[in-house]
Amino acid sequence: MAGHRVAARQSASGTAVLFDRLVTEAGIGPFETIGPFHSEQDAVLSVHEGSADVAFGLEVMAAQFGLGFLPLVTEHFELLVDRASYFDVPFQTLLSFCQSTEFAERAGVMRGYDVAELGAVRWNA
């Protein structure tokens, strides 16, 4: 990435921490950074407008601005819920919504998301 301008996120963001780790592990650098940007949208917009050459972020954001995307990592997120709270009406309402056809269709329109296992229960003993 030498000679390229990288849209950087603020140093405490999860995006910046992951990017720094990947760059260090790959032995890439040094490179010019632009920013820091406090939102992923602002970082991607800097690439779209030409003030940066590359930003580290989500496929859905690149697609919104008509930019190319190269996947580097896949992240999985788990929601930890107290066993008793799992059965509360607000959580069940959220779970029902997330398992609805409408939710799946909307996620399908957004690139880079896989909600196939959303709502799967995994017990932590």
Model confidence pLDDT, tens digit, residues 48-98: 999 999 999 999 999 999 999 999 998 888 888 988 999 999 999 999 999
User: What is this structure's pTM?
Assistant: 0.74
Which long-range contacts does 44-49 make (Cβ < 8 Å, 24+ apart)? 44/7, 46/7, 47/7
Angle at 122 between CA 120 and CA 125, to 5 degrees: 165
In the chain, domain spans? 5-64, 76-125
Q: What is the overall mean pLDDT for the chain? A: 90
Cα torsion 93, 114, 82, 88 to 10°: value is 10
Residue with tokens 């910046």: 16
How far apart are the C-alpha atoms of 107 and 119, rounded to whole Å? Answer: 14
